[in-house]
């Protein structure tokens, strides 16, 4: 790692040159927005780095919590504009609880100030680092669950999120990785794997969210399989405001859902 990148990193933290964007998470069986994932972006006038670069540098410098705290604080401040009865998904590094700088109760205080109840917040455990010790992972999940938050496992089916990680924990949501979604309508094996994940979620009471939906065909295939929720550029891009789904995807979901009259679980509670 070059020194100048470390300097850029610290300058970004000092200037708090990060802002949140929110991508809709959509109930595929109703077409309604039931949640938003909070993502972070950098003020491009201040650096050439990307947000992914920042987290790599933060890990190398031992400053992951400092960066994550800034991102989380920005997202929760903006959450005062969040619609009622929808979830806010916040990314959390799986090893963050072991960081000596980690501040317990930080999210509670910020969420209360923003008027966001704990029941509206989902902590999404990301794939930035592997956790081989499932007892630690369960400890992290219990830490947040005991405070009234829900838990999602991100990128299931890619990287470190193998089946062992899924069956050794009890998440409220599984987010199927983009690689399982990409061209799923052309690949029977991907369809079979997605159906297995869906069956597992239905049997355990978890919600399956398909990430990275970018085409009409992917959306139609996932809908036909009965996947609960979807997220991706085709449904809605990350924006600074809490927006609705795209007009095209709304029209398609109205058409698809007009063919069926089945009750599906809705995380919005309605």
Distance CA 90, CA 189 (A): 31
What is the pLDDT at residue 138?
77
What is the pLDDT at residue 189?
95
Burial 237-260 (b: 16+ CB within 10 A, else e): ebeeebbebbeebbebbeebbeee
What is the pLDDT at residue 80?
93
Torsion angle, CA of 29/75/244/117, rounded to 10 degrees? 60
**Contact predicate 102/65, CB 8 Å:** yes
What is the pLDDT at residue 104?
73
**Contact predicate 237/245, CB 8 Å:** no
**Contact predicate 38/242, CB 8 Å:** no
Rounded to the nearest angstrom, the gap between the alpha carbon of residue 220 and the centroid of all alpha carbons in its chain is 22
DSSP codes, 77-99: HHGGGPPTT-EEEEEE-TTGGG-
**Contact predicate 180/145, CB 8 Å:** no
What is the pLDDT at residue 258?
86
216-225 vs 247-257: helix crossing angle, rounded to 10:
30
> Rounded to whole angstroms, what are the CA distances from 46 to 13, 17, 19, 54, 129?
11, 7, 13, 13, 27
pTM of the model: 0.89
Distance CA 211, CA 178 (A): 5
Element (H, E) at 195: helix 188-204
Mean pLDDT per 10-residue interval, the chain, length 270 residues: 75 93 97 97 81 89 89 95 95 72 79 91 75 68 86 79 75 95 97 96 97 97 98 97 95 86 47
What is the pLDDT at residue 100?
60
Can you list the domains of the chain with their CATH numbers? 5-268 (3.20.20.450)
């Amino acid at each position: 790692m070059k020194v100048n990148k470390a300097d850029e990193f610290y300058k970004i933290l000092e200037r708090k040159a990060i802002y949140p964007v929110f991508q809709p998470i959509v109930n595929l069986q109703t077409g309604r927005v039931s949640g938003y994932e909070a993502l972070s972006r950098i003020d491009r006038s201040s650096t050439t780095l990307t947000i992914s670069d920042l987290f790599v540098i933060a890990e190398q410098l031992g400053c992951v919590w400092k960066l994550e705290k800034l991102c989380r604080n920005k997202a929760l401040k903006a959450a005062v504009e969040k619609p009622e009865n929808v979830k806010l998904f916040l990314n959390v590094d799986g090893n963050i609880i072991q960081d000596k700088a980690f501040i317990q109760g930080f999210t509670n205080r910020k969420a209360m100030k923003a008027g966001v109840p704990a029941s509206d917040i989902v902590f999404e455990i990301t794939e930035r680092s592997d956790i081989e010790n499932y007892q630690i992972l369960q400890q992290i999940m219990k830490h947040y669950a005991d405070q009234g938050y829900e838990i999602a496992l991100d990128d299931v089916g890619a990287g470190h999120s193998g089946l062992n990680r899924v069956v050794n924990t009890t998440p409220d949501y599984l987010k199927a990785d983009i690689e399982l979604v990409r061209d799923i309508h052309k690949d029977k094996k991907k369809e079979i794997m997605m159906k297995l994940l869906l069956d597992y979620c239905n049997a355990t009471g978890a919600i399956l969210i398909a990430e990275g939906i970018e085409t009409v065909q992917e959306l139609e295939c996932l809908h036909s399989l009965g996947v609960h929720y979807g997220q991706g550029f085709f449904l809605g891009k990350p924006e600074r405001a809490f927006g609705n789904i795209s007009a095209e995807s709304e029209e398609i979901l109205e058409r698809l859902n007009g063919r069926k009259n089945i009750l599906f679980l809705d995380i919005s509670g309605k």
